[in-house]
Chains A and B, each alone.
Chain A
């Protein structure tokens, strides 16, 4: 376009904001505020008018001089802080921290007042321009010009660390001042606290405790060392609570734990003559508790204690159960075990805060060594027998429960619970039939315990025995009510009717009873069969007892308590003076081994020798002759003549019991296999073994070889078959 001559030429005058004020306005106003800030730092604020300063700052922001106000604040505050820094640097020796603290307090107060007069800027200008708020700005400048000044930074750190070192060596320091200084570092932000104090502090502490623990471990025994470590730990926790950030506590305790405990853990535990084993032996529960509490703080600490304790219990336990001396007395054997368990139970409760994992370790250790001795089940039954026969006489009910509970704890450790059951049944039968049990309640209570532990099946026969005893009593009452009149003054008969199968009876031949008795027995038999149909009675003459009245010479009258066999023998002497062994055997038909024992107890026991034997010797020979000992005397009118019987089982008897147990296990294993296969239909060999073992665990530890035999037997009987394709698989045949 060519420009025409009529070029319009007009101007538009730029629109002007209304002129504010005096161009020097900002300068003047800022000068007022700057002077005020100076007065504030000089502790001379009383002459200032707050309202005027606030209004001035407000006006500067309002008239768009916020930027000037802010930058002015930064530079004037920097100036003041630099001069403060100088005076702190100049402080000599110990007054350094005091001076720093005093100046910090001054700055904080000034900062608050500056923020008050600049409140409007802080609220409006700063957020919209994303600048640092006044208070934070003041802290940042303090950090940069004071704390991080080259002449202060390292001096401050060294002073603090030196004071802490002095406190560790026992000196008293000004904790209040320390708290203020540390609080200042925290106020300046977590990174300042961490970088300028915490990290170096932790490093120095690690060096200190490394050296100290090295020194202690060379000269202290374990208990002393632990005491010192505990004290140090508490000191550090105390220090944190007094003048450090609470977040430092886990860090510094971690340092002490690592240097003083984790690094020396094994050496402490295995310390000769003062380590863990020694503490356990001496029941040092206080030291043990200290060890537990300290070791708990480090990883693997507790497992270290646990492992040493476990192996110690196992070793000592193994010695105990394999010691032939201890095995001689079953009661003492079990008592020692109970004591040992009590001891460790107490230690775990009092020192190891009843820690579950320690309880488990204790249980597994006992389980390990108790089962090392195959006679443990027998001994435990004997122990119970002993307690229930006489041991509990005069003992309170609660204590009875206590003893039984303890026995149950040991019982739980047994793997061969069925062996225990076998013995228990024998011992219980003897107690019941001989009327030796002290407390019916205690007997029943133990059975209830066994029932809860092993289930109904385990105790059904034992309970059957109790039922028999009760029924027999009723039967006898019925018998005497019905036939009492016709019996007259003859001997009194007490019959206990035992259910076959519930009792550990052996089928023995009935011996010949004396005539008086056999008629009585016949009467009872007809009475009993008359009231119960379809039953059969067999006399177990080997199990009964009898009370006899006997006159020796002319005057000595005694009441003799004897076994049925002994009664049969003694009754023979009512008619003759002398009898030979052969004659007695013929007349009574008592099995020879029983007869020999019975005669031995009648003739050979000192003080109870109601018979005289020719020749005089300890053992009974086939050619011996017997006569009544007219010279028999006793202090007591009632004389109890026991049968010579080994309390503990003899070797062949043991074999026999063992065999019976093994026989009894077979149907149980088979039943378990069938139960499992019925639900699973198909299962491989290893799984069957595992499941059967698990099912039977509460009764006994099944032998895999035996399980295999049972499987084969079941295959023969067409309960199971092998899979055609995979020979390791078994199938259930419905």
Chain B
């Protein structure tokens, strides 16, 4: 009896469907079906003998109804994905659609999902994964934004100045840092609406109560809505600025100590457990590498610092990227030949332990090499080299997988977030989307 009363009839764009209230309940209250069958609307499926009419595309309805029934997505070849996204948005089922498209990220099971060609001239600068599966790509002075369905949104720019870094503040906001233009208040740093490309506000730097223009470098965020950015002012006002992300107000500034480098940093990384910011300035931006940890409660000194200045090292031992790994209490670095090096974070002035894989790589360098980059995601370490990304796992960082897509040349930057990996190629301005497929049925 209960089964009988559970049944619901629909007429969608002229086609008849029958389903159950139980299946529709999976859509959740925050969807068309959830609202439609709420008691407020008096459309109790048991009372209404008639079918419910919906003036929409029946083919897409069938796919989405199947998604609600089985939790799996199967798109027939005759339905464009974009159409399906539009219909899902109408029914309020976008989250269901996205969740069914790809599974939890794992570097050892990811597959290349698609490659998106770019159109910007010149080399890409950076690619950054967003929290919801979208990404933004910085090329020269422009930043292109893509949502999780890889729909492109209006691009953004900061007075058309060269963009140095970008970071997702939340699922709908992006912060850009750019070069300044002499004599004007152009460039610097600004927060943008990711879906409209509108500039909401700029982040200013004040020295001695005077607002000064500056070139924004590497960016980082912490969970307390603090934004960190390396800054180069024109009167030697180098250092790391701190802003409140919600109000845009500057709250702190760490001036660069003499003989060190903070204002031209390549990478900033917030360490949550240690309550510190890692600042890394690397070869070849400067002749030497400088890696340090800053605690903003004590601006008299740096908590931890390492530099290769004064050490007699050949080119094969130059650090090209660095990443702090809080769980292991160490900093991992990579050189031009993708050798990994490790340093202990718990004591200052320790030595670098290199792990050499160079013999494999030497002599196989492509014509246009890209500097290696590092990323860490849930205990897996990723490093990009030429057109390949290597995945390392376990306490000894064993190489477990290599991700390669021959199209587009060397990888100049990559980023992991929203359960996806994005890799930006230098030659063709193409970027790849890697994702883990939903788990197998059996």
* B-binding segment of A109-117, A323-331, A526-534: A109-117
What are the interface flags for A100-136 relative to B under an 8 Å C-beta threshold, 1 for contact and 0 otherwise? Answer: 0000000001001100110110011001111000000
Are A50 and B193 CB-contacts (below 8 A) given A55-B55, A119-B92?
no
Tell me if B53 and A50 are in contact (CB < 8 A): no
Q: Which of B54, B89, B193 contacts A124 (CB 8 A)?
A: B89
Contacts of A58 in B (CB 8 A): 90
Are A50 and B36 CB-contacts (below 8 A) given A113-B41, A119-B92, A127-B172?
yes
Q: Does A46 contact B (CB under 8 A)?
A: yes
Contacts of A45 in B (CB 8 A): 40-42
What are the interface flags for B17-36 relative to A under an 8 Å C-beta threshold, 1 for contact and 0 otherwise? Answer: 00000000000001110011
Shortest CB distance B201–A (Å):
12
Please report which residues of chain A, range 443-466, place their CB below 8 angstroms from some CB of chain B when the two chains form the complex. Answer: none
Tell me if A119 and B41 are in contact (CB < 8 A): no
Q: Does A632 contact B (CB under 8 A)?
A: no
Contacts of B172 in A (CB 8 A): 127-128
A54 to B31, CA, bound (A): 11
Shortest CB distance B145–A (Å):
12
Contacts of A218 in B (CB 8 A): none
Are A119 and B89 CB-contacts (below 8 A) given A51-B53, A113-B41?
no
Tell me if A119 and B40 are in contact (CB < 8 A): no
Contacts of B52 in A (CB 8 A): 51
Are A128 and B195 CB-contacts (below 8 A) given A45-B41, A50-B36?
yes
What are the interface flags for B282-297 relative to A under an 8 Å C-beta threshold, 1 for contact and 0 otherwise? Answer: 0000000000000000
Return the chain B residue nearest A116 by Cβ: B35
What are the interface flags for A53-71 relative to B under an 8 Å C-beta threshold, 1 for contact and 0 otherwise? Answer: 0110010000000000000
Contact size range, B: 20 to 34
Tell me if A50 and B90 are in contact (CB < 8 A): no
A128 to B31, CA, bound (A): 19
Are A113 and B40 CB-contacts (below 8 A) given A119-B92, A120-B90?
yes
Contacts of A109 in B (CB 8 A): 40
Q: Does B185 contact A (CB under 8 A)?
A: no
A123 to B195, CA, bound (A): 13
Contacts of A130 in B (CB 8 A): 193
Contacts of B41 in A (CB 8 A): 45, 48, 50, 113, 116
Shortest CB distance A36–B (Å):
11
Return the chain B residue nearest A112 by Cβ: B40
Return the chain B residue nearest A113 by Cβ: B40
Contacts of A124 in B (CB 8 A): 89
Return the chain A residue nearest B94 by Cβ: A123
Q: Does B62 contact A (CB under 8 A)?
A: no
Identify the interface centre among B40, B43, B172: most chain A CB within 10 Å of its CB. Answer: B40
Tell me if A119 and B196 are in contact (CB < 8 A): no
Return the chain B residue nearest A55 by Cβ: B55
Q: Does B316 contact A (CB under 8 A)?
A: no
Q: Which of B38, B42, B196 contacts A116 (CB 8 A)?
A: B38
Shortest CB distance A399–B (Å):
57
Tell me if B196 and A128 are in contact (CB < 8 A): yes
What are the interface flags for B35-59 relative to A under an 8 Å C-beta threshold, 1 for contact and 0 otherwise? Answer: 1101011110000000011110000
Tell me if A51 and B54 are in contact (CB < 8 A): yes
Tell me if B55 and A50 are in contact (CB < 8 A): no
What are the interface flags for A252-277 relative to B under an 8 Å C-beta threshold, 1 for contact and 0 otherwise? Answer: 00000000000000000000000000
A128 to B42, CA, bound (A): 32
Contacts of B53 in A (CB 8 A): 51
Q: Which of B42, B55, B89, B193 contacts A123 (CB 8 A)?
A: B89
What are the interface flags for B155-191 relative to A under an 8 Å C-beta threshold, 1 for contact and 0 otherwise? Answer: 0000000000000000010000000000000000000
Q: Which of B31, B43, B196 contacts A50 (CB 8 A)?
A: B43
Tell me if B35 and A50 are in contact (CB < 8 A): yes
Contacts of A48 in B (CB 8 A): 41
Tell me if B42 and A54 are in contact (CB < 8 A): no
Tell me if B35 and A119 are in contact (CB < 8 A): yes
Shortest CB distance B48–A (Å):
11
Tell me if B32 and A54 are in contact (CB < 8 A): yes
A45 to B40, CA, bound (A): 8
A55 to B52, CA, bound (A): 13
A48 to B40, CA, bound (A): 11
Contacts of A46 in B (CB 8 A): 42
Please report which residues of chain B, range 47-88, place their CB below 8 angstroms from some CB of chain A when the two chains form the complex. Answer: 52-55
A405 to B50, CA, bound (A): 89
A128 to B230, CA, bound (A): 29
Shortest CB distance B200–A (Å):
8
24 of the cross-chain contacts (CB-CB < 8 Å) are A45-B40, A45-B41, A45-B42, A50-B35, A50-B36, A50-B41, A51-B36, A51-B54, A51-B55, A54-B32, A112-B38, A113-B40, A116-B36, A117-B35, A119-B30, A119-B92, A120-B89, A120-B90, A120-B92, A123-B89, A123-B92, A127-B195, A128-B195, A130-B193
Interface residues of A (CB under 8 A from B): 45-46, 48, 50-51, 54-55, 58, 109, 112-113, 116-117, 119-120, 123-124, 127-130
In addition to A116-B40, A119-B92, A124-B89, 9 A-B residue pairs with Cβ atoms within 8 Å of each other are A45-B42, A48-B41, A50-B35, A51-B53, A119-B30, A119-B31, A127-B195, A128-B193, A128-B195
